[in-house]
Amino acid sequence: MNYTLHQLQVFQKVVETGSITKAAEVLHLTQPAVSIQLRNFQDQFDIPLTEVLGRKIHITDFGKEIATLAENIISQVQAIDSRTMAYKGQLSGRLKIAVVSTGKYVMPYFLGEFMKKHPGVELQMDVTNKSKVITSLEKNEIDFALLSILPNGINLDYLDILDNNLYLVGNSDAGDHKNISPDEIFMEMPLIFREKGSGTRQIMEKFIEGSKISIQKKMELTSNEAVKQAVLAGLGFSIMPLIGIKNELASKQLRIISVPGLPITTKWRLVWLKGKKHLPLPTAYLEYLQKEKGLIAERYFGEVRG
């Protein structure tokens, strides 16, 4: 047999994602390139590694065993690279972070300078919904997660990195609502919610319950970007993190509506499993954040911190 490390990496990623298309995206390759590498790898075995049923690729039991071995080999190669870089006094390896969808407006700024200082470091950042972020935490698949609301039932350590301020917002056609009660506002237009399980949804529901507001109509959308577009289109109001709408506020496409009890302030927190033994790379990143988080927040978020 004469398979290459690249073929092992391609096969392992196909198994991990369950899709040639997704594997190609992660590896920054074209689909034909992934298919060719997968076929060349398969040609070296008399036993099928995969089978295609309908339009979906399935991994055989033998293929799953080979994928496990491939993952071990890839990890050992990465360890060799890391050890070599360490002897040169350089950090290397892969930093794995899962981020709730609104956190995409935050996390890159707390990574930029660190990544520039350490060119041997690879970043794997998954921007997804809160439930998937929590699952990744529970399975210990990541080094860190970025959340604004800590989940119940998981022992976590965390580092506060930025205030998360949430306001009621409407589009530019929203009238002046000074001296109008929240009930009157929400009778005019629907309140637009994120999906169940979202941190922003939890904050909205807690505010509504505490304020004893009657909601006449409501809509539910599955991403912060979708909510923002719906508000811009005049479909309703929403309680939204300031961090994700600062450009629309500056251009006067959106406006903050003043109501008692708002804004609500939570914290953007970098979290990890309590007792987790970090490798040198995530340890170095955590030390970097502890030292630099204030300067980063002031530099990039000074105008939206309160």
| CATH number of 12's domain | 1.10.10.10
Task: For residues 257-282, give the mean pLDDT.
Answer: 90
Residues pairing with 221 in the sheet: 194
92-to-81, 222, 223, 287, 295 alpha-carbon distances in Å: 7, 36, 33, 16, 25
And the tokens for 183?
């009930």
Report the 10 Å Cβ neighbour count for 145.
26
Give the pLDDT confidence score for residue 181 in this predicted structure.
63
Q: Once rounded to an integer, what is the mean pLDDT over residues 39-57?
A: 90
Residue 204 has pLDDT above 70, yes or no: yes
153 and 271 part of one domain: yes
The whole-angstrom separation of Cα 201 and Cα 193 is 6
What is the structure's pLDDT at 306?
42
Greater pLDDT, 43 or 211 = 43
Query: What pLDDT sits at residue 60?
Result: 94
The verdict on 192 and 137 lying in the same domain is no
Choice between 199 and 90, residue whose per-residue pLDDT is larger: 199
Instruction: Check which CATH number belongs to the domain holding 214 and give it.
Output: 3.40.190.10
The domain tally of the chain equals 3
> 259 and 276 in one domain?
no
More confident residue, 183 or 75: 75
**pTM to 2 decimal places:** 0.70
Same domain, residue pair 59 and 10: yes
* Residue bearing the bigger pLDDT, 57 or 190: 57
| Judgement on whether residues 262 and 168 belong to the same structural domain of the protein | yes
Q: Are residues 209 and 289 in the same domain?
A: no
- Phi/psi class of residue 73: alpha, beta or left (left: φ > 0; alpha: ψ in -120 to 50)? alpha
Residue 13 sits in the same domain as residue 39 = yes
Q: Do 211 and 260 fall within a single domain?
A: yes
Residue 244 lies in domain: 163-266
> Are 179 and 40 part of one and the same domain?
no
Residue owning tokens 């794995």: 96
Q: Tell me how many degrees the CA angle 114-116-121 measures, rounded to the nearest 5.
A: 75
Say whether both 117 and 195 belong to one domain: no
Q: Out of 60, 86, 112, pick the residue that ends a domain.
A: 86
Q: In terms of Cα–Cα distance, which of 192, 237, 186, 240 is closest to 212?
A: 186
Do 168 and 256 fall within a single domain?
Answer: yes
Range name among 42-46, 70-74, 103-107, 263-267 with the lowest pLDDT average: 70-74
Shared domain for 107 and 64, answered yes or no, is no
Asked whether the predicted pLDDT for residue 21 surpasses 70, the reply is: yes
**Exposed e or buried b for every residue in 195-209, given b needs 16+ CB within 10 A?**
beebbbbbbbeebbe
Q: What is the mean pLDDT of residues 122-136?
A: 91
Of 86, 104, 122, the position where a domain reaches its end is: 86
Neighbouring CB atoms inside 10 A of 65's CB total 13
Question: Quick one: pLDDT at residue 177?
Answer: 56
Domain boundary among 32, 55, 86: 86
